[in-house]
Amino acid sequence: MSFEDTIRYLFNATRIMDVGDRIEKLLVTPERQVKVEVAIEMDDGSLGVYEGFRVQHNDARGPYKGGLRFHHEVDQDEVNALASLMTWKTAVVGIPYGGAKGGIQVDPRGLSLAELERLTRKFTDKIEVVIGPQVDIPAPDVNTDGQTMAWIMDQYSKYHGYSPAVVTGKPIELSGSQGRVAATGRGVALCGLWALRDLGIDPAGATFAVQGLGNVGSWASRILADAGARLVAVGDHGGYLHNPEGFDVEALIAHVEENPDRSVMGFAGADEIDFDTFIASEVDLMIPAALGGVITKPVAETMRCKLIVEGANGPTKPDAHDLLVERGVMIVPDILANAGGVTCSYFEWVQNNQHFYWSEKDVNDRLEPILRKAYESVNEIATARKFDHRTAAFIMAVREVGKATVMRGI
């Protein structure tokens, strides 16, 4: 995902809204970009040096909020793009946050648990002056999890006193929220179910394919399967599989969790296919839930799905998006589809600040109406103005962020 791609999507909305060059410039430009060098001692005594980033895009509507990813392809441009997307995502679902993102340029598979802990704590040392419960609240993202957040919370608390609200996505034992682990995938599945019905497709018996069976893809698959939909194609970094009869989702997820490579490959009773065959699967619903930029224009030309629900951030390139929309494919964009995670992170933050905790049922009962309202609002703009759903979502988000920015004063 590039910052240029994000700007193209944003400008589609701002030009329609005629916000003017001054406001447009404010909405594009990140408010703070932090780049740090993170040096740690490796287990063998050598020195490891890594680049770390934290970009704070806009805080007009509340504290900065966004994930932290560990990946060897993390760079300034990607983090800028993802921070911007968080601004629009929080505005679409109406929660009082701005947008931020962070990352460390590292392949975590090459590090021991002890090295990962040292890296995380040292990175926290470098950015603790620009994060905080009322300033910027990180969360898990690609290759980070509750344990990563626990280390950040502990390290930050050494400077500022016990501060559980400095991060979300923490383990339950450390003031995390019930329902947070499943929330992003739950939101993807709910958007998929609502969109299928709007397209006149009964979810019971609908077919779907998922790229990436990590946290988001696995929970989305579970919930869709529970609704009667059939997972017929799946893939990840290891390869791709096809089963026209439908996968046993729980067995497949268990296989991934037990596989040292954390991959679907090796699962019995399925045919191996390549990416080109996978992405061209004739399914009702396609869920890209891995990394960004996977659906390019050449890829889009081969796709035969009726609906795309973006579980990953920025999986669809602008030229590919335009082509798919022209062909009548409905796309539920990332800033709506995967907003369940940040919404539940907001719940966690609220619980941390109140020191009062909710049940999983309470969390899910609060999550669905927020996502449903956002989905219906975007759908209403798209239908009334004959826009695609991404443009409608950006229009809705820009309206909210723009008003807050102007009212607070430029």
Query: Would you say 331 and 324 are in contact if contact means Cβ atoms under 8 Å apart?
Result: yes
Task: Tell me if residue 174 falls in helix, strand or coil.
Answer: helix
14-21 long-range Cβ contacts below 8 angstroms, 24+ apart: 14/398, 16/387, 16/391, 16/395, 17/395, 17/398, 17/399, 19/398, 19/402
C-alpha to C-alpha distance for 23 and 14, rounded to whole angstroms? 9
Roughly how many angstroms between the first and final C-alpha of the chain, as a whole number? 29
Cross-strand pairs, 48: 40
Inter-helix orientation angle 360-385/340-354, to 10°: 140
Residue of 65, 101, 122, 306 with catalytic role: 101
Q: Where do we find the tokens 């443009």?
A: 391
Give the count of beta carbons closer than 10 Å to the beta carbon of residue 362: 15
Instruction: Give the pair of three-digit tokens for residue 41.
Output: 């001692």
Residue 119 backbone phi and psi in degrees, to 5 = -65, -45
CA 210 to chain centre: 15
The secondary structure of 215-252 as a DSSP string is HHHHHHHHHHHHTT-EEEEEEETTEEEE-TT---HHHH
The answer to whether residue 386 is catalytic is no
Report which residue type is found at 164: P
C-alpha to C-alpha distance for 119 and 140, rounded to whole angstroms? 15
Task: Tell me if residue 375 falls in helix, strand or coil.
Answer: helix
Closest CA to 196 of 153, 229, 238, 226: 229
C-alpha to C-alpha distance for 141 and 71, rounded to whole angstroms? 10
C-alpha to C-alpha distance for 154 and 163, rounded to whole angstroms? 8
Radius of gyration of the chain from Cα atoms? 20
Q: Where do we find the tokens 């993202």?
A: 141
C-alpha to C-alpha distance for 272 and 96, rounded to whole angstroms? 45
The DSSP call for residue 172 is G
Active site residues: 101
